[in-house]
Amino acid sequence: MKRTTTRALVAAVTLAMAPAAGGVSHAADKAPVVIPPPPPGKGQIVFYRTGTIMGAAMGCAVNENGQKISSLGAGRYFILVTDPGRHEYTVKSEAKDVLALQVEADETQYAMCKIKMGIMAGRPDLRPSTEAEFVKSSTDRLVDADDMGPGPGALRPDEVAAAVAAMKAKG
């Protein structure tokens, strides 16, 4: 690729991502994401992926025990409710990454999937994260129900909405 073509591409992407002159970025216009607490005696993990350009076309399919839980597109998240104990989650493309977490009852943990540079395709990297990193990432879209797998525990969008409504009703 010619250097001028590369510069033009970078300029176009930068311009497309910048807020309109005198405008406000979309992140400031959105309500913050509300994560409901896990059901009593259960733990939960919020898996998320930032909306970065690197690997934007790739999904990050999160699996446990060989079963797909959900795919994470760029800028998406999902909530997995699970039993307390040790769990191993995997993601893979040309390489496999494993994240082992010790889930505690009544606790919410966070895990981020990032697509790194690979030889033939991007390489998913799954790592522990924090609530502060999740908030800072501006990830604000739930995974669509169609992108969720048969693996148990991932809350569908309607289940998240019901849990948030119940939480708000309690005060």
Per the DSSP assignment, residues forming a β-bridge with 79 are 46
Give the pLDDT confidence score for residue 124 in this predicted structure.
Answer: 78
Q: Does the residue 12 lie in any domain?
A: no
Rounded-to-integer distance, Cα 87 and Cα 111, Å? 13
Give the pLDDT confidence score for residue 128 in this predicted structure.
Answer: 96
Q: Does the residue 15 lie in any domain?
A: no
Give the pLDDT confidence score for residue 92 in this predicted structure.
Answer: 78
Give the pLDDT confidence score for residue 8 in this predicted structure.
Answer: 36
The count of structural domains within the chain is: 1
DSSP codes joined into one string, 36-95: PPPPTT-EEEEEE----STTTT--EEEEETTEEEEEE-TTEEEEEEE-SEEEEEEEESSS
Specify whether the CB–CB gap between 104 and 84 falls below 8 A: yes
Rounded-to-integer distance, Cα 13 and Cα 90, Å? 31
Q: Does the residue 62 lie in any domain?
A: yes
Q: Cβ atoms within 10 A of the Cβ of 159, count?
A: 14
* 6-42 confidence digits (pLDDT tens): 333 333 333 333 333 333 233 455 677 899 999 999 9
Give the pLDDT confidence score for residue 132 in this predicted structure.
Answer: 95
Per the DSSP assignment, residues forming a β-bridge with 81 are 44
Q: Does the residue 66 lie in any domain?
A: yes
Q: Does the residue 147 lie in any domain?
A: yes
3-class SS at 167?
Answer: helix
Q: Does the residue 156 lie in any domain?
A: yes
Q: Which residue ranges of the chain lie beneath pLDDT 50?
A: 1-27, 54-56
Domain holding 81, by residue range, is 37-170
Q: Does the residue 152 lie in any domain?
A: yes
Q: Does the residue 52 lie in any domain?
A: yes
